[in-house]
């Protein structure tokens, strides 16, 4: 072991993924998570392009594939349920609108946690209350009262990152609202949903249903434009009132979907937002995942960027012999162009849902420029093999390639 002690804040996806690679590179890793346990369920997340290679290098291809939703594709429908367009999971080599590798956020979090729990210290039901860094380390006081010193601290605590606010400044400085609000929650599958996602859009609003491995349930997805979103993300009842108000009058199955708002166990609503920062590190403290570079759910790339960022951050820190200035700088130089491409995809997706009426602002998604942007967003980052670095894992795992029969 290197003796380097790293504290990671957040145990969703970016945090445990980073813990995996930090441990393999020889660090002693602690992950602190304010929730009392792993959060189950959640929205479906995807792995596309280079992210599938990272999963293979982690040795988790089989475990991830076993936990996939097995969604066959998506139908866009009109108000009467007639199919307008069809997208299949095998389109574009499994990297299309519906990813061939699709997994519920909570299920992927569980795979990553199970992979690291024996090698990494997890502190659930706690959080960083205070943090002070000097030239040699970081002193951390936890909300539970413990005080410890680490060599490095990394925030993987999401869009509303408390560590980012503590070290880098207030949320308003970095969070860019894209003018759309997204909600999702589980509902009974009384809609006859099988392996196909259904999506209805009208005048900038949308309602959808997504299958999950439990055939008795489905995930409802709703969105509406809102330039004036001001509901506290912790005020669940206020969020539900807002959702009912903004979705009133939308056709298709929307009233039936809304009827389950009060009995769902896992309601989520938040602004569709991106995090844009000039730098993702400050001394011995760095950021990863949505805390550093959220591209919004509309990019379809948040999970992939978290997995790739974890691989690169751990690798570059180890390659720099744990020098934070050099390691964080190399990680950022590798990731930033890739992040910017995916953030552009997210902004374009939001624009396509509610385009401005002026014809000048119509986006030509058939142009060569868009194909090039998609390629950069999928594969526009290099994965060094870090062959000369310590690695406690098994090297050269196969990539997560599409399986036969999908």
| Structure confidence by residue, pLDDT tens digits, 10-23 | 999 999 999 999 99
Q: How confident is the model at residue 47 (pLDDT cuts 50, 70, 90)?
A: confident
User: What pLDDT digit, counting tens, does each position of 294-303 carry?
Assistant: 988 877 778 8
CATH number listed for the domain at residues 5-70+105-174+276-355+363-380: 3.50.50.60
* Mean pLDDT computed over 49-72: 89
Flag whether pLDDT at 404 surpasses 50: no
Point out which residues pair with 155 in neighbouring strands: 9, 287
What does the pLDDT read at residue 218? 92
What does the pLDDT read at residue 231? 72
Query: What class has domain 177-272?
Result: alpha beta
User: What pLDDT digit, counting tens, does each position of 133-192 carry?
Assistant: 999 999 999 999 999 999 999 999 999 999 999 999 999 999 999 999 999 999 999 999
Cα–Cα distance, 379 to 103 (Å, whole number): 20
Q: How confident is the model at residue 398 (pLDDT cuts 50, 70, 90)?
A: very low
Asked if the domains 5-70+105-174+276-355+363-380 and 177-272 are classified in one and the same CATH topology, the answer is no
User: Sheet of 147-150: strands edge to edge?
Assistant: 128-133, 138-142, 147-150
Domain boundaries, the chain: 5-70+105-174+276-355+363-380, 177-272
Query: Which residues lie closer than 8 Å to 292 by C-beta, 6 or more apart?
Result: 155, 164, 275, 277, 280, 286, 309
Q: How confident is the model at residue 402 (pLDDT cuts 50, 70, 90)?
A: very low
Among 55-59, 121-125, 215-219, 399-403, which stretch is predicted with the lowest mean pLDDT? 399-403
Query: Which residues lie closer than 8 Å to 190 by C-beta, 6 or more apart?
Result: 256
């Amino acid at each position: 072991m290197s003796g380097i002690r790293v504290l990671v804040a957040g145990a969703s996806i970016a945090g445990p993924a980073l813990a995996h690679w930090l441990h393999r590179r020889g660090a002693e890793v602690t992950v602190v998570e304010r929730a009392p346990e792993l959060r189950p369920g959640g929205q479906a997340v995807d792995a596309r392009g280079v992210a599938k290679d990272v999963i293979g290098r982690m040795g988790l291809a089989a475990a991830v594939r076993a936990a996939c939703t097995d969604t066959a594709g998506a139908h866009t429908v009109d108000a009467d349920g007639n199919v307008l367009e069809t997208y299949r999971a095998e389109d574009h080599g499994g990297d299309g609108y519906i990813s061939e590798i699709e997994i519920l956020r909570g299920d992927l979090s569980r795979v990553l946690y199970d992979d690291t729990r024996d090698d990494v210290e997890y502190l659930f039901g706690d959080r960083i209350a205070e943090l002070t860094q000097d030239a040699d380390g970081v002193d951390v006081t936890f909300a539970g009262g413990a005080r410890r010193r680490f060599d490095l601290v990394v925030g993987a605590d999401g869009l509303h990152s408390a560590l980012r606010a503590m070290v880098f400044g207030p949320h308003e400085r970095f969070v860019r609202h894209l003018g759309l609000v997204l909600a999702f929650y589980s509902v009974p599958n009384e809609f006859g949903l099988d392996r196909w996602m259904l999506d209805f859009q009208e005048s900038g609003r949308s309602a959808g249903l997504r299958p999950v491995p439990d055939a008795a349930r489905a995930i409802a997805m709703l969105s509406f434009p809102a330039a004036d979103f001001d509901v506290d993300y912790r005020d669940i009842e206020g969020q539900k009132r807002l959702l009912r108000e903004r979705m009133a009058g939308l056709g298709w199955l929307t009233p039936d979907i809304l009827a389950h708002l009060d009995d769902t166990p896992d309601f989520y609503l938040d602004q569709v937002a991106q995090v844009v920062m000039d730098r993702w590190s400050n001394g011995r403290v760095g950021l990863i995942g949505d805390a550093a570079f959220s591209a919004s759910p509309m990019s379809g790339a948040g999970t992939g960027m978290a997995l790739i960022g974890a691989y690169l951050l751990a690798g570059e820190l180890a390659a720099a012999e744990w020098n934070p200035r050099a390691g964080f700088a190399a990680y950022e130089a590798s990731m930033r162009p890739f992040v910017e491409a995916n953030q552009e995809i997210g902004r374009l997706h939001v624009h396509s849902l509610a385009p401005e009426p002026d014809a000048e602002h119509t986006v030509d998604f058939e142009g060569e420029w868009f194909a090039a942007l998609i390629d950069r967003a999928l594969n526009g980052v290099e994965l060094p093999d870090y062959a000369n670095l310590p690695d406690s894992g098994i090297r050269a795992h196969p990539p997560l390639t599409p399986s036969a029969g999908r």
